[in-house]
Homo-oligomer: A and B are copies of this chain.
Amino acid sequence: MSTQMHDHIVKSYDDEQRRLLDETLRMGEMAASQLEAALDVVQRRDDKAAERIIANDEAIDALEQEISHDVMKLALRGPMARDLREILAAIRIASDIERVGDYAANVAKRSTALNLSPPLPHVAGLHALGTLAVKQLRDVLTAYRDNDIELAQSVRARDAEVDTAYTGLFRELLTYMMEDARSITACTHLLFMAKNIERIGDHATNIAENVWFLVKGEEQLPPREKRDDTNTTGAV
């Protein structure tokens, strides 16, 4: 093979790999915006906007399909080990982002159910929790873009803050439900919305772990603290 031809193939492989990263980052930014829009819509009690957010989730799903397709094309070329890690990381990260999009759409969907009852004070707590999750998501996407394992590690460490905020809100909601039975339906929606956001935090952590894998390969990740104890809580 001529050097020129070889260069051409190498360049186009790099181009496609760059395209895969760009698509995944774009997908991530879409999911972060969806989550922000969903948080906003909960506060504004705007059913029309909620429906738009729910409909937008299809664009995220379509992008995941496109990424799978690009992964297929790249993997067929028989990549090197580092390239393959990039491909594997992209497909896993895209799958995490797809889930984030689903959770954001579910927050929007449940907001329309919340709008059938009077406003609840806990919406502010949900917003604070969601804002933490948006930051986690944006930070981990930056870490992915820049191969920044320190930022990825800090996202992973900060998941404990998301868990603490979730646990606090969870307890507040349970107490409120016990005091006012009429709030139970609405509070149940808020419980699930809070859980969705806590899960988004977990997906940000998964992405952080894939950034580690991308940069460090099979090397063992350092241990990490968890603070969500709502699974085994017997009383509020």
With both chains docked as a complex, state the minimum distance between the C-beta of A67 and any C-beta of chain B, in angstroms. 11
> Given B68, B81, B84, B106, which contacts A88 in the complex, CB threshold below 8 Å?
B68
Q: Determine if B95 and A232 form an interchain contact, defined as CB atoms under 8 angstroms apart.
A: no
**Chain A, 57-68, contact with B by CB distance < 8 Å: what is the 0/1 string?**
000000000001
Which residues in B have their C-beta under 8 angstroms from that of A71? 88
Closest to A109 in B: B231
Is A140 at the interface (CB under 8 A from chain B)? Answer: no
Q: Which of A8-16, A112-120, A156-164 lies at the interface?
A: A112-120
Q: Determine if B185 and A233 form an interchain contact, defined as CB atoms under 8 angstroms apart.
A: yes
Which residues in B have their C-beta under 8 angstroms from that of A174? 184-185, 188
Quick one: copies of this chain in the complex?
2
Q: Which of A18-26, A72-80, A121-129, A131-139 lies at the interface?
A: A72-80
Q: Determine if A232 and B113 form an interchain contact, defined as CB atoms under 8 angstroms apart.
A: yes
Which residues in B have their C-beta under 8 angstroms from that of A55? none
With both chains docked as a complex, state the minimum distance between the C-beta of A16 and any C-beta of chain B, in angstroms. 15
Is A165 at the interface (CB under 8 A from chain B)? Answer: no
> Given B69, B181, B236, which contacts A178 in the complex, CB threshold below 8 Å?
B181
Q: Determine if A84 and B75 form an interchain contact, defined as CB atoms under 8 angstroms apart.
A: yes
Which residues in B have their C-beta under 8 angstroms from that of A184? 174, 177-178, 184
Q: What are 27 residue pairs bridging A and B, where the CB atoms are less than 8 Å apart in the complex?
A: A71-B88, A72-B88, A75-B79, A75-B87, A76-B80, A76-B84, A88-B91, A92-B95, A95-B95, A106-B231, A109-B232, A110-B231, A110-B232, A112-B232, A113-B231, A113-B234, A116-B235, A117-B234, A174-B184, A174-B185, A177-B181, A181-B181, A184-B184, A185-B233, A185-B235, A185-B236, A188-B191
* Closest CB pairs A-B (n = 10): A78-B78, A116-B234, A109-B231, A178-B181, A75-B75, A113-B232, A177-B184, A113-B234, A178-B184, A75-B84
Task: Identify the A interface with B (CB < 8 A).
Answer: 68-69, 71-72, 75-81, 84-85, 87-88, 91-92, 95, 106, 109-110, 112-113, 116-117, 174, 177-178, 181, 184-185, 188, 191-192, 195, 218, 231-236
